[in-house]
Structure 1
């Protein structure tokens, strides 16, 4: 399975190293027999002093290489699970939108046929608002709300721990539908 072209092009621009050079370097290092952490550490050593946020870029190179070689599929995390996300920007302050989101989901005991393991919770920081839920299938959902300017708030829903790539499309659709219903 190949890597998305945009990510490899972005890596090449940011690091100043063409993607073909990265793949050759990683093959020479013996990355196929290394753990994700070891590959990322070795790439970080190469990028230290070369780019800002060299450890972040090392992770990006490592994930892209794992996708390129078929070790990891797009959307797959290091533990083998998958995740998806959806977002929408709506009118209102983060507090107002969090209230509307919780009201939209109030009274539900499940989402798309999967029960909540426990009732969803909310939290606040000075800058962010959060809605979190654990589902009975072991997955987690987090809605993060933040100011988008001009009296608007962005709601970003992330669903993690999904068992397969097929679940990504299903759940992304579920969360997009719920976000579309957000008044």
Structure 2
């Protein structure tokens, strides 16, 4: 890609279209200018860490959470240029998530998940391995591995006085084709609570 190459549309490249306007608003730089910056820095041959560094150096000093935004810009560029597709991490594996707000506290939400689904020996034909529960000052967790299927984290995060967001994050999917099937599965399990 060169500065004279027209920018491809987000829809044609797999870039999440909603991320581009947010990046433009945050940075005060239009997407075509970002693409020119990355082309000049030869970012197509750089790894994710270097692409994020290029983005971070180009952010205005006034940006709040500049490291987070640098990651967002780097991911959008990688998606735009075909280095990764939506849902794919920098390690080449894929991730999916689903969430639901419940009228419970965080420990009760995890207890509800465990009561409903914790004894399951399999999830979509993958054996559940090493289930474990943990807690931090801010969240409660139920985690497990899936044989040949990645890692799953169920987290409960307080949302106000009497609600919690119960989120399922599934990392380590080998292909993007599996994302929507797993998303539907996790949403169905959350809907049962």
TM-based fold match above 0.5: yes
Aligned residue number for residue 94 of structure 1: 106
Aligned residue number for residue 78 of structure 2: 66
User: What do residues 120-164 of structure 1 show as CA deviations (whole Å, max 9, x unaligned)?
Assistant: 111112321101011111500001101122422110110000011
The TM-score with structure 1 as length reference comes to 0.93
| Aligned counterpart in structure 1 of residue 45 of structure 2, from 11, 30, 33 | 33
Root-mean-square deviation (CA, aligned residues, Å) is 1.3
SS at match of 2:159: strand
CA distance in structure 1 between the partners assigned to 2:177 and 2:121 by the alignment: 24
Aligned residue number for residue 88 of structure 2: 76
Maintained 8 Å contact 1:85/1:156? yes
User: What do residues 66-110 of structure 1 show as CA deviations (whole Å, max 9, x unaligned)?
Assistant: 100111101100000000000001122112111111011132111
Aligned residue number for residue 132 of structure 2: 121
Question: Size of the alignment, in residue pairs?
Answer: 181
| Aligned counterpart in structure 1 of residue 181 of structure 2, from 165, 170, 173 | 170
5+ residue gaps in structure 2?
Answer: 1-12
5+ residue gaps in structure 1?
Answer: none
Maintained 8 Å contact 1:15/1:50? no
Aligned residue number for residue 103 of structure 1: 115
Maintained 8 Å contact 2:126/2:149? no
Question: Residues 7, 84 of structure 1: CA spacing in aligned structure 2 closer, same or farther, 3 A cutoff?
Answer: same
